[in-house]
Amino acid sequence: MHFKKVAVVGIGLIGGSLAWALRKSGRVGEVFGVDVDERALSYAIDKGIVDRGSNKIDEVRDSEVVVVATHVRFIPEIVSSLSCIGLKDTVLTDVGSVKESIVKEVERRLPSDVYFVGGHPIAGTENSGVWFSDFALFKNKRCVLTPTERTHMRALEIVTAMWEIVGAEVFIMDPKTHDRVFGFLSHLPHVVAYALLNSTELDEDSRNFVGFAGGGLRDYTRIGASSPDMWSDIFLANKENVLLAIHRFKEALERIEVAIKKEDEKELKSELGKAVGVKRRME
Amino acid sequence: MHFKKVAVVGIGLIGGSLAWALRKSGRVGEVFGVDVDERALSYAIDKGIVDRGSNKIDEVRDSEVVVVATHVRFIPEIVSSLSCIGLKDTVLTDVGSVKESIVKEVERRLPSDVYFVGGHPIAGTENSGVWFSDFALFKNKRCVLTPTERTHMRALEIVTAMWEIVGAEVFIMDPKTHDRVFGFLSHLPHVVAYALLNSTELDEDSRNFVGFAGGGLRDYTRIGASSPDMWSDIFLANKENVLLAIHRFKEALERIEVAIKKEDEKELKSELGKAVGVKRRME
């Protein structure tokens, strides 16, 4: 599939990487970028990440796809505002890490003749901003799309095609399942990474010797360095699932803690062995 | 400094990597390996990781340094047994991740004319066994040595020289501080990684979709795949500090959990921001 024009609203790490990958594919006539941050926009234009750009959202008109790639909290507002600028034959999609609240809100607000498909590419790094864009970011990564009964098949096909152009493999999930699963698989690990880093602050010795952290703790620092603004939005937008995941995690932690306390070696090894099994199934 | 003979007892990932690095340095006349596992030993000999090897520990005689690189639980026993084979001018050291209990036990058992220095190289991977040996494993890594008032300066100098030969930077810490610090910086992250992987098992959806884990959870899988036998030993050998670290971690987790529950965005961002600060100081 070829596109005449694709617009990306919000040229950060994800938006910039997507725009760049689409541009490099040679299968999109024009990649148009929108951002309110002039520095980000000039960078994207100078670097060839987008063909053209603007800080005015109504210039996305005539795009076949508009991808909203802002922080989670702004997505419903921006998607809804797009419906007012008279889009015809344009499919709207997003890249938010949370889907149920966004999809619900967007579907509540959008007129029925404007097409929207929720999306979430499973890619990213601890860095934020267009300066970290990587045109290979989505290559061989998964992208989850979350159509509902209101979603038009054609719109789903178009968004699927766009992600396939940048090398992603598309999976379908309903928004509710998506939020449950990623509450565990993505949001919880971030909560835990932040808490783990903070726990070293609660102990004077480990605070002073934090430079001695080996690979173990360093593995956590990648996601523990992720943008607090972005992640507090995500945790709050997926509040119930994140709290459930924290609850389950505390249960799992408690089992290990109790086994250590009781010096129950058999139970301890069994818990650790279970984790190794989960890891294997993840690969 | 040059050595005529260095022996490594326990040719696993750490022992194998150390032996190999010493051999490659050209500054050790003979690197001698001891392991009860015939397969590990033949592999080490065939691959040139050691010059010679044996399953009999008394063949380490005439070594200037004997490094005990077995699982934590066997270290005091093995070090003590070495004192019976008539070592003269030999310095004993170990690579255990826990120091206080090992050093105490060894010093209690060793005659005062046998020299021991506790050691802990801050290096390793999730893999175990000589097959994963890497002669560059210690290059530019830290190695903590934990002398006590009983330690002979000359013995400390010799063990320091050995680690410097393989590219490590040596730091001195007392055994008590070591265990406190690494309880937080190394053992706790392992506990948390295991618990995090297990928590996905407690939820049917996330169990079924575990293949969707992105970089976030995958970062944890490295250490969550570490040997349950080895790590249950470590957790139990450093029980008090590990339990303290888990306790502090739960406090840090609770702060984030409560902020999410109350939708207290300011507090939530402040907690996440604090973690980013810790991460920066770690680099």
Per-residue pLDDT tens for A76-94?
Answer: 999 988 887 777 789 999 9
Nearest to A149 by CA among A170, A110, A175: A175
How confident is the model at residue B83, as a pLDDT?
81
Residues of A in contact with B168 (CB under 8 A): none
Residue with tokens 């620092």: A221
Distance CA A221, CA A213 (A): 10
In 10 A of CB B224, how many CB atoms?
27
Task: Give me the residue spans of the domains in chain A.
Answer: 3-173, 177-282
Which residues 242-261 of A are in CB contact (within 8 Å) with B? Answer: 242-246, 248-253, 255-257, 260-261
Interchain CB contact of B204 with A (< 8 Å): no
Mean pLDDT in residue range B91-104: 96
DSSP for residue B176: H
How confident is the model at residue A226, as a pLDDT?
83
Q: Which fold has domain B177-282?
A: 6-phosphogluconate dehydrogenase C-terminal fold (1.10.3660)
Nearest to A197 by CA among B141, B276, B155: B276
Residues of A in contact with B244 (CB under 8 A): 203
- Interface probe with B: pick from A256, A262, A263, A270, most Cβ of B within 10 Å: A256
Residues of B in contact with A190 (CB under 8 A): 216
pLDDT one-digit tens code per residue, A90-112: 999 999 999 999 999 999 998 88
Q: Is the pLDDT of residue A118 over 90?
A: yes
Facing residue for A200 by CB, picked from B185, B193, B250: B185
Contact B212 A142 (CB under 8 A): yes
DSSP for residue A91: E
Distance CA B28, CA B20 (A): 11
Q: Is the pLDDT of residue B221 over 80?
A: no
Number of A/B CB contacts below 8 angstroms equals: 307
Contact A219 B223 (CB under 8 A): yes
Q: Is the pLDDT of residue B208 over 90?
A: no
B112 pLDDT tier (thresholds 50, 70, 90)? confident
Contact B214 A186 (CB under 8 A): yes
Distance CA A88, CA A113 (A): 8
Tell me the one-letter amino acid at A7.
Answer: A
Beta bridge partners of B8: B33, B67
- CB distance A90 to A159 below 8 Å: no
Query: Does the structural domain B3-173 have CATH classification 1.10.1200.10?
Result: no
Facing residue for B252 by CB, picked from A199, A225, A232: A199
- CB distance B182 to B242 below 8 Å: no
Percent of chain B scoring above 90 in pLDDT: 78
Interchain CB contact of B153 with A (< 8 Å): no
Distance to chain A for B117, nearest Cα, Å = 19
Which residues 132-151 of A are in CB contact (within 8 Å) with B? Answer: 142, 144
Q: Is the pLDDT of residue B88 over 80?
A: no
Interchain CB contact of A182 with B (< 8 Å): yes
Q: Is the ipTM of this complex over 0.85?
A: yes
Residues of B in contact with A217 (CB under 8 A): 185-186, 189, 282
pTM above 0.80, yes or no: yes
